Amino acid sequence: MGKKGRAIIVGGSIAGLSCAHALTLAGWEVLVLEKSTEPPARSPTGAGLGLDLQSRQVIRTWLPRPNLLDDFTLPLSIDQNQTTDNGKKGTRILTRDENFNFRAAYWTDIHSLLYNALPRSVFLWGHLYLSFTVPQDKSSVKVKARILETQETIEIRGDLLVAADGCLSSIRKTFLPDLKLRYSGYCAWRGVLDFSGDENSEMIIGIRRAYPDLGKCLYFDLGPKTHSVLYELLNNKLNWIWYVNQPEPQLKSKSVTMSVSQEMIKKMHQEADMVWRPELARLMKETKDPFLNVIYDHDPLENIVWENIVLVGDSAHPTTPHGLRSTNMSILDAFVLGKCLEKRGREDLSSALGEYQRIRLPVVSKQVLRSRRLGRIKQFHELDDGDDKRFGLLEDTGSEVLEDLKQRSMPFFSNAPLV
């Protein structure tokens, strides 16, 4: 048996952890560099996510007990889009898919589940990635990182560099220095309400009356040139998102999450009262520490592989969140990469990475564009193809655009090629 390949993974988020699992199973030695000093026990900007069937099947192969995943998630068996009329305090269902087959999870729960199934020796916490170099013969890759506690700079050598460093990827910028993310035209207020101990409160009873299928339904409320998302998470939590059209804000850090002031939160609460049903507006007002994400994506890349450097997750395909794709794409990226490396071996790394790119690029490219279209329809933005059927959305339930609202309209919704 040949010598094990060594992969250096930059980024300890779900994409990086997924790659660590997939490459370990493929027979590779892995090392994860992460600038955070410790695993996120309860991230202040933690939020909900939806896992599709393929991602769940993959995650189960990484866990010591496959049924653990169900213990950390709730079913999302219904996908429902509805209009909201605040004045009349009512809704009208536009689409309803009762065979949705996703599961809802809290981000930190899934991260912890994946992290706890890996050896601690895999991780270098508090290590800031700086740069990489590849020798002329392309036989290896050398990564520089700074240990944040001591400010010491170290070098690590491997056979493969995996960029799982997010939508603002430093590694991607090495190859595409002029690439600028595309601002969607809107930002997203997000929050998770923990109602533990208040299960029978007036507010929770009201929200369950207004949204009777909470606990199994992914709700989309469409208002005037805006939309919101609501679904339940395990352990008495409600996850909500509200997309607001606005000019592009100035980001003051290397993050798409903005700092928000109490004045901004107060204004958001006031606007919620004018736009949403009173039950949803009250839920938003009673949520502690809501935060604001600036929503970006990018046209599909032509390459996600350069020599022995490979992009995965948001570094490979920055996407808007409307198709619940980001986490699912990251997990499937990792799985396919692992299978290609296992099949080809360390000695044929170029062919393995080429196969990974051939399998994943057509899938993620279509999904990025579909997610963009979903967002533009729901925010009443002009569509790239000039289609203006969205303007009849609230009145014309027979419009073809209603089919576009369903998550099931996503290309490769449940059948992305994995090998």
Alpha carbon distance 308, 7 (integer Å): 10
Alpha carbon distance 378, 95 (integer Å): 13
What residue type is assigned to position 69 of the chain? L
Averaged pLDDT for residues 167-194: 95
As given in the structure block, the two tokens for residue 158 are 């491997």
Confidence at 391, pLDDT banded by 50, 70, 90: very low
Averaged pLDDT for residues 28-40: 93
Alpha carbon distance 414, 79 (integer Å): 15
At 151-166, the pLDDT tens digits run 999 999 999 999 999 9
In the predicted model, what is the mean pLDDT of the chain?
Answer: 91
CA angle 317, 319, 325 (to 5 degrees): 95
Which residue carries 């994506």 as its tokens? Answer: 297
pLDDT at 274 over 50: yes
Cβ-contact 143, 129 below 8 angstroms: yes
Alpha carbon distance 113, 55 (integer Å): 14
At 315-328, the pLDDT tens digits run 999 999 999 999 99
The reported pLDDT for the residue numbered 402 is: 83
Confidence at 250, pLDDT banded by 50, 70, 90: confident
361-366: long-range contacts (C-beta < 8 A, 24 or more apart)?
A: 361/300, 361/301, 361/304, 363/329, 363/332, 363/411, 363/412, 363/416, 363/417, 364/300, 364/316, 364/317, 364/319, 364/329, 364/333, 365/300, 365/317, 366/411, 366/412
Which residue carries 């576009």 as its tokens? Answer: 404
3-class secondary-structure state, position 222: strand
Domains of the chain in sequence order: 6-44+118-180+298-409 (3.50.50.60), 68-108+183-296 (3.30.9.60)
Alpha carbon distance 218, 40 (integer Å): 26
Cβ-contact 373, 404 below 8 angstroms: yes
As given in the structure block, the two tokens for residue 276 are 């949403």
Confidence at 419, pLDDT banded by 50, 70, 90: confident
Secondary structure in 3-state letters for 72-136: CCEEECEEEEEEEECCCCEEEEEEEECCCCEEEEEHHHHHHHHHHCCCHHHEEECEEEEEEECCC
Cβ-contact 336, 360 below 8 angstroms: yes
More confident residue, 334 or 393: 334
pLDDT at 1 over 60: no
More confident residue, 40 or 336: 336
Q: Please return the burial class of 261, using the count of CB atoms within 10 Å of its CB with bins 0-12, 13-18 and 19+.
A: exposed
As given in the structure block, the two tokens for residue 417 are 């090629």
What residue type is assigned to position 405 of the chain? L
Question: 252: how many CB neighbours lie within 10 A of its CB?
Answer: 8
Question: 152: how many CB neighbours lie within 10 A of its CB?
Answer: 9
